Structure 1
Amino acid sequence: MSESEEAHRERTRRHKAVVDAKIAAATRDKGLLLVLTGNGKGKSSSAFGMVARTLGYGRRAAVFQFIKGTENVGERAFFSTHPDVIWEKCGEGFTWETQDRARDIAAARAGWEKARAALSDPSISLVVLDELTYPITYRYLAVGEIMAAIEARPPMQHVVITGRAADDALIAAADTVSAIRDVKHAFRDGVRAQEGIDR
């Protein structure tokens, strides 16, 4: 049985009152730490959407890609030429590509030093640490060192960390955590990565 127009108006009126009260109660501004984790597709894509939003407000962003270092990806082609974006490749691809732990550690370390500089720059509104969870999981970088830099950043700077299996310390410190679930993926059905969708 469908809802009557009067019942619909009353239900949506009550819902609006609840939402409006929550909006009115949110009065603080602060730099946020967001963690996008889980096995599903879309973590980096979500972060790059926030880069676009940041640029839309005339602010600066910095992106540090810790794994997808050698891949040709559309977002890098688009954003890396923007004057208000710093875009750094901090890796040479997935670890099974290099098969050289010392080399992977050195690449992660060099990338982290650049990221740490961005985390201390108040002119950068958004820092994306793309797939940073992997160097932490593989113990290429120490989570304590990363957290210290994030906690010492300028007060209104936002940070987004992406990657599977986010460390508990990142999750505990984050203001917002999204765990993206993998339900189905075309790759498992033999479809290669598609330009504009996967890369």
Structure 2
Amino acid sequence: MTLETGPHMNGQDEDSRHADKMVRKKVARDKIMASKRGEQGLVIVHTGAGKGKSSSGFGMILRCIAHGMPCAVVQFIKGAWDTGERRLIEGNFADLCQFHAMGEGFTWETQDKARDIAAARRGWEKAMDLIRNPDIRMVLLDEINIALAYDYLDIGEVLAFLRAEKPPLTHVVLTGRRAKQDLIDYADLVTEMTLVKHPFRAGIKAQAGVEF
């Protein structure tokens, strides 16, 4: 008798090894999942020089809307912009998602530090009111990291509020480049968007549907 060999048997061996590997992986994964706790409201930070920070935050807001979960957005910088996200939410989901555009544009547009600080303060006051409401399951603080980076808002005050007053099941998402290290240390989930290539550097202006 001779053992059957060749490509057919090699393929069977590979399939068998793959199946065994997946069984071991599932056992390990199930063990990890069994150790996890129940639901918890997260502090989530999207930062970095790359594109996608606000887009990712709005993606989470749309997930909340899809699950019928009340949510809210506070924009700290882009308040003067007519964005697609704002049109979509205000035009179709205002019953589930509050949208508050509190900013007046980027700092180089206003050229008025006191005015920028006042706008940031108004945004933060609104954010605190929304976060305190336990019925609102997610609050997106869009571009707040920029206000914190310029010290228009005090990072100590923001963290103290989140520690003391954020309801246990409320998610708070903070976007914008140059996130403070204290915020990064405190957050439950931090993602840094890395800039590899951007069309703006090639002279292409911001595009509707891509940038706003």
TM-score class, shorter-chain normalisation, is over 0.9
Paired-residue identity, %: 45
Identify the residue that residue 139 of structure 2 maps to in structure 1. Answer: 127
Residues matched between the structures, number: 199
In 1, the alpha carbon distance for the partners of 2:109 and 2:96 equals 32
Tell me the equivalent position of 1:63: 73
Higher helix share: 2
Would you identify which runs of 4 or more consecutive aligned residues in structure 1 move more than 4 Å?
none
> What's the secondary structure of 2:78's corresponding residue?
coil
> Is the contact made by 1:68 and 1:91 (CA closer than 8 Å) also made in structure 2?
yes
2:104 paired residue number:
92
CA apart distance, 1:12: 2.0
Give TM-score, length-normalised by structure 1: 0.95
What secondary structure sits across from 2:115 in the alignment?
helix
Given residue 128 of structure 1, which amino acid in structure 2 is its aligned partner? L
Point out where structure 1 has 5 or more consecutive residues left out of the alignment. Answer: none
Q: Does 1:159 align with 2:181?
A: no
* Cα drift, residue 113 of structure 1: 0.7
Unmatched segments (≥5 aa) in structure 2? 1-9
Q: Considering only CA atoms, is the larger Rg found in Structure 1 or Structure 2?
A: 2
1:15 Cα deviation after fit: 2.0
The CA distance in 2 between the partners of 1:10 and 1:54, in whole Å, is: 38
Q: Which amino acid aligns with 1:67?
A: I
Does structure 2 conserve the Cα–Cα contact (< 8 Å) formed by 1:119 and 1:149? no
The 3-state SS of whatever aligns with 1:191 is coil
Partner of 2:184: 171
- Which residue in 2 is equivalent to 1:44? 54
Offset at 1:193?
A: 1.3
TM-superposed CA distance for 1:153, in Å, is 1.2
Pairing of 1:22-41 with structure 2 (within 5 A): 22-41=32-51
- Paired letter, 1:153: K
For the pair 1:5 / 2:15, whether they are aligned, the reply is yes
